[in-house]
Amino acid sequence: EAGVAQSPRYKIIEKRQSVAFWCNPISGHATLYWYQQILGQGPKLLIQFQNNGVVDDSQLPKDRFSAERLKGVDSTLKIQPAKLEDSAVYLCASSRDRNLLEYFGPGTRLTVL
Amino acid sequence: EDQVTQSPEALRLQEGESSSLNCSYTVSGLRGLFWYRQDPGKGPEFLFTLYSAGEEKEKERLKATLTKKESFLHITAPKPEDSATYLCAVQVYSGGYQKVTFGIGTKLQVIP
């Protein structure tokens, strides 16, 4: 089966600019996650969707980050405006069961200058 | 607050030199513990889930074990292709859904 797809793979922006990331989960997977992984750290959950509803966004900086999952399939994560500390890899993951965390995409590496 | 500590942060082994990676945790109500492998420039690759103390799982040269306070990832006779960062994560339940907290990982280098 095809894996989790993410785009773009790399993005460089100036601080205060906006950026959006896209994720296409594995077909049929109801649960979708966005994680932030800063260099040298483990992934940190930003938001979890079950179908197109938000289950957990407690660690999402809502003043600048937003995410949506239309029709319970693809998802986009947006940062507006970006800060230097947002430089990280943004990972999307999906699972068929809300109690599993098995399939990660390759990530989008964001550099904020 | 859930805490996951992995040690060592980095480990360098000769090919064939067996060793273990440690993941210690402090959580309320552990539901499961995950191990992942992450290669540079890639997302984590799922290896194992452990649910109860005493449980063991194996895959090729890797064996994961779980106690009430920590988990070990044993690597037997490693090869250079085992070089990667190994991440441990703990799973708890919150509001009816899982919450997963990751450690910072152990970067393993296996030298031919």
Could you read off the pLDDT of A20-37 as tens digits, one per residue? 999 999 999 999 999 999
Which of A38, A59, A96, A99 is best to mutate for the B interface (most B CBs within 10 A)? A99
Please, which residues have CB within 8 angstroms of residue A40's CB and are 6 or more apart in sequence?
B104
Distances in Å between the Cα of A71 and the Cα atoms of A24, A48, A50, A104, B50 are: 12, 15, 11, 20, 33
Which residue is listed with tokens 């452990």? B50
Calpha distance A78→A68 (Å, rounded): 9
- Closest CB to B87 among A42, A99, A107: A42
Contact B100 A45 (CB under 8 A): yes
Residue A46: strand, helix, or coil: strand
Please provide the DSSP assignment of A63-91 as one string.
TTEEEE-GGGS-EEEEESS--GGG-EEEE
Calpha distance A106→A37 (Å, rounded): 12
Residue B4's closest CA among B107, B109, B101? B101
Q: Is a pLDDT exceeding 70 seen at residue A57? A: yes
Query: Where residue A1 falls among pLDDT bands split at 50, 70, 90?
Result: low
Calpha distance A51→A54 (Å, rounded): 8
- Token pair recorded at residue B22: 């440690």
Residue B83's closest CA among B1, B13, B4, B3? B13
Beta bridge pairs of residue A10? A109
- Closest CB to B105 among A42, A100, A105: A42
Average pLDDT for A74-100: 95
Which of B100, B106, B107 is best to mutate for the A interface (most A CBs within 10 A)? B100
Residue numbers of chain B with a pLDDT score lower than 50: none
Q: What is the per-residue pLDDT for A98?
A: 82
CB atoms within 10 A of CB B80: 11
Alpha helices (H) along B6-112: none
Q: Is a pLDDT exceeding 90 seen at residue A89? A: yes
pLDDT in tens, B54-66: 999 999 999 999 9
Instruction: List chain A residues with CB under 8 Å of B41.
Output: 106-107, 109
Candidate from A42-46, A51-55, B18-22 with smallest mean pLDDT: A51-55
Contact A101 B91 (CB under 8 A): yes
Q: What is the per-residue pLDDT for A70?
A: 83
Nearest CA in chain B to A6: B43
Cβ–Cβ < 8 Å for A83, A112: yes
Q: What is the per-residue pLDDT for A10?
A: 97
Q: What is the per-residue pLDDT for B2?
A: 85
